[in-house]
């Protein structure tokens, strides 16, 4: 019998990306936190639990010793939606196999990896179930497996799901693990689970494999936020749910009181939080229960932090594709839901809810509180050329009606065993590859760019942009939050630091920004040139003629309202 008190456990996080759960840095998913809590509950001392991310192992090869030395190695990972990530690189199947081979002790694998493994984490792929040479694969909840495995003296476990009492306990007991994440404490955001499962059955989606929705009651989630705050976490995303509006209801209809208790409770236990965002909201809930949904959306917008996004899974605006894939919302219904979110939550800090959606010259210079995002999926059953045009028209209609979208996510399907799409696989996605490429470019140019100018016009301030990498003489960074904008800043700024920026220009899904406020007495040539309408000659003149006592004194003629975000500080030369 193995004594839990003496057990050394290493958890390796290969990252997860599921339709309603994200865990690539700067995000940490629920899996490592719950698993650590389950181990503690089973009697393993927290000091015996080591946590590494896959990037952490790549960067410091000596850390592989912890994989070898552990009595129990737990690998957590799995990508069930395709993606490319700035903050980390998910574990490749070969690396996962190497983990199993390196482990001298017992090895357990869990997380969405149980749904299948593709050759690469990209769209238009098919997957198959593999054990990747691990001793055990958790086919139920990996945290329950970890608990039962330790209880059994590492002999085995039944594949089961955990219950609400367990998750409440484990979420709090495992909060300590965040301290071992390389991004802790400043650049780390915790994904929070409010429910699992879904009332609907879209053909491609792995979420229904969790069954009908089950909710964690507010005290369970709030207690977890409290514990995470005690370990220095200031950024949270309520992203582990299929539909935040359905929270605490009958599975489909909204329950605004439950939302109020949840959001109010989080604010009470974490008054210093810096980010509170969400992820998924089902547009059909808004259309079927508009008044209750409006109330729920207002509650969210009162408690969240700006720049929040409610991702809508429209997936296709083509009725033929909708019918063939059991999609639950029509283009007309989704349009109505986009409008309602804009009306209730499309106001900006410093503005007024009555004016929502707020955009244009008089709008405050902050991101709106909450906007819809649209997910479109290609390669679904019965997709045709017309599907692409219908999707494009839908987005154009949203723009033409003066509404805002925070982002449009266009992907190709990944086919998983156990979903209806497994029969069709990636065949249609392959067939339509060139059509898809052309259409994606069109959407980026014709919709994303003008929409971004509406959502974040020049002068919009984005506080606390974390600087992540240098490229082509620029520094790139993002705010912490849901679907943060990528910001390119002229010049090479210190990586790992955080600065406020003001938007000066737009790409398709990214912006150019300059430090905010931009001091004309010390700004670099590159920063001045980044302002639309200021060429290199004017920028040079600004530099030569400083210092200035006011922005107007600089006499700069640009395409943007410079006074909105520039300043003149007395420089040492000026004094």
Choose which of 242, 299, 455, 504 interacts with ligand SF4 (CB under 6 A): 242
Q: At what angle do helices 30-41 and 164-173 cross, to 10 degrees?
A: 100
421 binds ligand SF4 (CB under 6 A): no
Q: Which stretch binds ligand SF4 (CB under 6 A): 9-17, 200-208, 520-528, 543-551?
A: 200-208
32 binds ligand SF4 (CB under 6 A): no
Residue 16: strand pairing partners? 78
d(CA 25, CA 391): 31
d(CA 256, CA 246): 9
282 binds ligand SF4 (CB under 6 A): yes
d(CA 87, CA 25): 5
Alpha helical stretches, state H, 369-408: 385-400
d(CA 21, CA 196): 10
202 binds ligand SF4 (CB under 6 A): yes
Site map for ligand SF4, 294-333, x if CB under 6 A?
Answer: -------------------x--------------x-----
Q: Which stretch binds ligand SF4 (CB under 6 A): 57-65, 163-171, 204-212, 521-529?
A: 204-212
Q: From the CB of 19, what's the least distance to ligand SF4, in Å?
A: 5
- Closer residue to ligand SF4 (CB): 18 or 448: 18
Q: From the CB of 327, what's the least distance to ligand SF4, in Å?
A: 7
200 binds ligand SF4 (CB under 6 A): yes
Q: Can you tell me whether residue 170 is helix, strand or coil?
A: helix
Burial annotation 516-549 (CB, 10 A radius, 16+ → b, else e)? bbbbbbbbeebbbbbbeebeeebbebbeeebbbe
Q: From the CB of 285, what's the least distance to ligand SF4, in Å?
A: 10
Q: What is the dihedral of CA 56, 57, 60, 63, to 10 degrees?
A: 120
DSSP class of residue 197 equals -
d(CA 419, CA 246): 23
Residue 49: strand pairing partners? 9
Choose which of 19, 296, 477, 481 interacts with ligand SF4 (CB under 6 A): 19
Total residues at interface with ligand SF4 (CB under 6 A): 13
Q: From the CB of 335, what's the least distance to ligand SF4, in Å?
A: 17
213 binds ligand SF4 (CB under 6 A): no
Choose which of 71, 126, 173, 207 interacts with ligand SF4 (CB under 6 A): 207
Q: Can you tell me whether residue 486 is helix, strand or coil?
A: strand
d(CA 189, CA 28): 6
Q: Which stretch binds ligand SF4 (CB under 6 A): 44-52, 101-109, 199-207, 554-562?
A: 199-207
Nearest alpha carbon to residue 289 among 259, 252, 328: 252
279 binds ligand SF4 (CB under 6 A): no
Choose which of 149, 198, 310, 395 interacts with ligand SF4 (CB under 6 A): 198
Q: Which stretch binds ligand SF4 (CB under 6 A): 105-113, 194-202, 417-425, 478-486?
A: 194-202
d(CA 220, CA 351): 34
> Could you count the other beta carbons within 10 Å of the beta carbon of residue 494?
9
Contact 523, 534 (CB under 8 A): no
Q: Which stretch binds ligand SF4 (CB under 6 A): 29-37, 130-138, 205-213, 346-354?
A: 205-213
For ligand SF4, the binding residues (CB under 6 A) are 19-20, 198, 200-202, 205, 207-208, 242, 282, 313, 328
């Amino acid at each position: 019998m193995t004594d839990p008190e003496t057990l050394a456990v290493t958890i390796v996080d290969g990252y997860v990306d599921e339709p309603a759960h994200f865990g690539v840095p700067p995000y940490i998913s629920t899996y490592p936190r719950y698993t650590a809590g389950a181990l503690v509950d089973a009697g393993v001392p927290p000091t015996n639990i080591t946590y590494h991310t896959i990037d952490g192992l790549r960067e410091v090869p000596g850390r592989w010793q912890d994989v070898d030395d552990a009595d129990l190695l737990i690998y957590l990972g799995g990508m069930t939606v395709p993606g490319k990530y700035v903050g980390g690189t998910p574990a490749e199947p070969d690396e996962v196999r190497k983990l199993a081979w390196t482990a001298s002790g017992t090895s357990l694998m869990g997380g969405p990896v149980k749904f299948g493994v593709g050759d690469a984490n990209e769209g238009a792929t098919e997957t198959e179930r593999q054990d990747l040479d691990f001793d055990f694969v958790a086919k139920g909840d990996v945290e329950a497996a970890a608990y039962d495995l330790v209880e059994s003296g590492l002999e085995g476990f039944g594949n089961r799901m955990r219950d609400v009492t367990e998750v409440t306990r484990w979420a709090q007991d495992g909060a300590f693990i965040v301290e071992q994440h390389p991004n802790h404490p400043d650049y780390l955001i915790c994904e929070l689970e409010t429910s699992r499962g879904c009332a609907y059955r879209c053909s491609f989606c792995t979420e229904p494999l969790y069954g009908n929705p089950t909710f964690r009651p507010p005290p369970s989630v709030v207690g977890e936020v409290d514990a995470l705050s005690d370990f220095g976490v200031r950024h949270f995303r309520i992203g582990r749910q299929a539909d935040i509006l359905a929270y605490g209801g009958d599975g489909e209809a909204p329950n605004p009181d439950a939302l109020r208790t949840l959001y109010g409770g989080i604010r009470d236990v974490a008054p210093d939080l810096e980010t509170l965002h969400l992820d998924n909201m089902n547009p059909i809930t808004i259309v079927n229960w508009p008044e209750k949904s409006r109330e729920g959306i207002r509650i969210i917008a009162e408690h969240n932090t700006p720049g929040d996004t409610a991702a809508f899974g429209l997936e296709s605006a083509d009725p033929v594709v909708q019918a063939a894939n059991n999609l639950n919302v029509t283009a007309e219904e989704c349009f109505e839901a986009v409008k309602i979110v804009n009306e209730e939550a499309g106001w900006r800090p410093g503005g007024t809810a009555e004016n929502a959606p707020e955009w244009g010259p008089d709008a405050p210079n902050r991101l709106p509180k909450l906007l819809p995002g649209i997910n479109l999926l290609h390669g679904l059953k019965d997709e045709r050329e017309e599907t692409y045009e219908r999707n494009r028209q839908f987005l154009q209609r949203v723009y033409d009606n003066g509404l805002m979208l925070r982002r449009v996510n266009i992907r190709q399907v990944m086919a998983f065993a156990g979903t209806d799409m497994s029969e069709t696989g990636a065949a249609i996605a392959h067939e339509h590859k060139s059509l898809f490429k052309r259409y994606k470019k069109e959407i980026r140019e014709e919709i994303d760019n003008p929409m971004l100018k509406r959502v974040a016009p020049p002068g919009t301030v984005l506080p606390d942009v974390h600087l992540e990498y240098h490229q082509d003489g620029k520094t790139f960074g993002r705010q912490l939050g849901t679907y943060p904008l990528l910001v390119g800043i002229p010049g090479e700024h210190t990586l790992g630091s955080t600065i406020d920026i003001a938007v000066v220009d737009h790409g398709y899904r990214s912006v150019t920004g300059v430090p905010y406020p931009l001091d004309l007495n010390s700004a670099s040539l590159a920063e001045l040139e980044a302002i639309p309408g200021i060429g290199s000659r004017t920028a040079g003149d600004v530099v030569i003629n400083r210092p200035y006592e006011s922005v107007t004194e600089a006499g700069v003629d640009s395409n943007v309202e410079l006074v909105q975000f520039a300043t003149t500080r007395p420089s040492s030369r000026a004094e």
